[in-house]
Chains A and B, each alone.
Chain A
Amino acid sequence: MHELSIVASVVETVTESLAALPDAPKGARVLEVRLRIGTLTNVVLESLEFCWGIATEGTALEGSKLVVKTVPVVMHCPRCDADVELEGVLSFRCPKCDEPCSDLRQGRELEIESFEIDDEAAMEIVGIEKAGDAE
């Protein structure tokens, strides 16, 4: 339900980060954005994809690819004294010993891992602008 606001937040953060890059040429374009989304976040990946085109329109991210890495739920099992990965989210028990686990270690991630920019295209755009200035 809140995928559009999540996507809008990603676009805003990447746009700001791009502008803050000390050596990013003006007009640099984003080719790809990589997210890490935990399976315990209720985020529907298809909805993210659907919103991506709308939210990136008219920004440096327009036409970019959204790559989502899903992060499984990891709990700490007190009996095994180890971090264990759950197969689903319908039972919070250790898959090895069946002990109920309440200590969540991973699975709620909503992160922007990285983004990729096209430096060359950016250089060209800067070049055109310079040519225009000279006229």
Chain B
Amino acid sequence: MTTRIVELRQGILKKNDELARGLRERYAIGGVLVLNLVSSPGTGKTAILERTLKDLWVRGWRVAALVGDLETDNDARRLAASGAPVRQINTHGICHLDAEMIDRHLAGWEEVELGGLDYLFIENVGNLVCPSSYDLGEGIRVVLLSVTEGEDKPLKYPALFNSADAAVITKMDIAEPCGFDRELALKNINEIRPGIRIFETSAKTGAGMEEWLGYLEEERSKKKHGGN
């Protein structure tokens, strides 16, 4: 039998990566900071995003959000109450967003021009496994963890926590009744992603929002001035 080996050395998700690269260029040209929010279902991504959109809007920033769910447009309707343009992506069973979905939903979005935005938030499908492999061209990947989830989540899902640029702990207002061990949670996040910025927030009381918004403004000005 004559056989032959064909060298390929090609990324399996090459198509996604190429599309993501294209998106990243478009975001840069438009001058928009794009954030990809990832967490397990029920962490409170929508609640913190609702508050973030509203607060940034009040500060005069132009914001928009793309929100991913398997089904329903409940989250988009909730977020739209902030006044910001919001578009729902229904994945119909797919457990993560990919660059093609983002590209397609940006293309048909009449109210939004990337050049007319300061921030675009992408709320990923609630899942701590699959979104880690799919680049959406985002500038910042934010992982969220709620006080009800257990402090060892970062150790259970290291791939995702290690790929994040910032971590947001949510529902801090109920940390005490939940018996949340703050020190342990911070230690575990740092063990998986040393040096990551961590924000302890409550969308309900507004705790930690000032610091979180400050970070967003800081990162935006860094991007704008050619930093990374």
Residues of A within 8 A of B (CB): 1-2, 5-6, 9-10, 13-14, 17-18, 21, 31, 35, 40-43, 89-93, 100-102, 104, 108, 110-121
Contacts and interface: CB of A to CB of B under 8 A. Distances in A.
B130 A115 contact: no
A118 B9 CA distance: 20
A48 to B, nearest CB: 10
Contacts of A92: 162, 191-194
B72 interface: no
Given A2-B95, A6-B12, A110-B13, A40 B3 contact: no
A92 to B, nearest CB: 6
Interface of B: prevailing SS: mixed
A72 to B, nearest CB: 13
B2 A42 contact: no
Contacts of A114: 5-9
Given A17-B6, A40-B159, A116-B3, 6 more contacts: A1-B130, A13-B8, A18-B6, A42-B159, A100-B195, A121-B1
Contacts, number: 110
Contacts of A31: 3
B74 interface: no
Nearest to A35: B12
Interface in B152-188: 155, 158-160, 162-163
Interface string B70-94: 0000000000000000000000001
Interface residues of B, number: 36
Sort A-B residue pairs by CB-CB distance and give the 5 closest, nearest first.
Answer: A100-B194, A120-B2, A89-B158, A110-B12, A2-B130
Contacts of B163: 108
A102 B195 contact: yes
Interface string B136-151: 0000000000000000
Nearest to A17: B8
14 contacts: A2-B130, A9-B15, A14-B8, A42-B133, A92-B194, A100-B190, A100-B191, A111-B10, A112-B9, A112-B10, A112-B11, A117-B3, A118-B2, A118-B3
B4 interface: yes
B159 A102 contact: no
B14 interface: yes
B10 A13 contact: yes
B129 interface: yes
Contact of B132 (A42, A90, A112, A121): A42
B127 interface: yes
B96 to A, nearest CB: 7
Interface string B1-42: 111111111111111000000000000000000000000000
Contacts of B1: 118, 120-121
Contacts of B15: 9
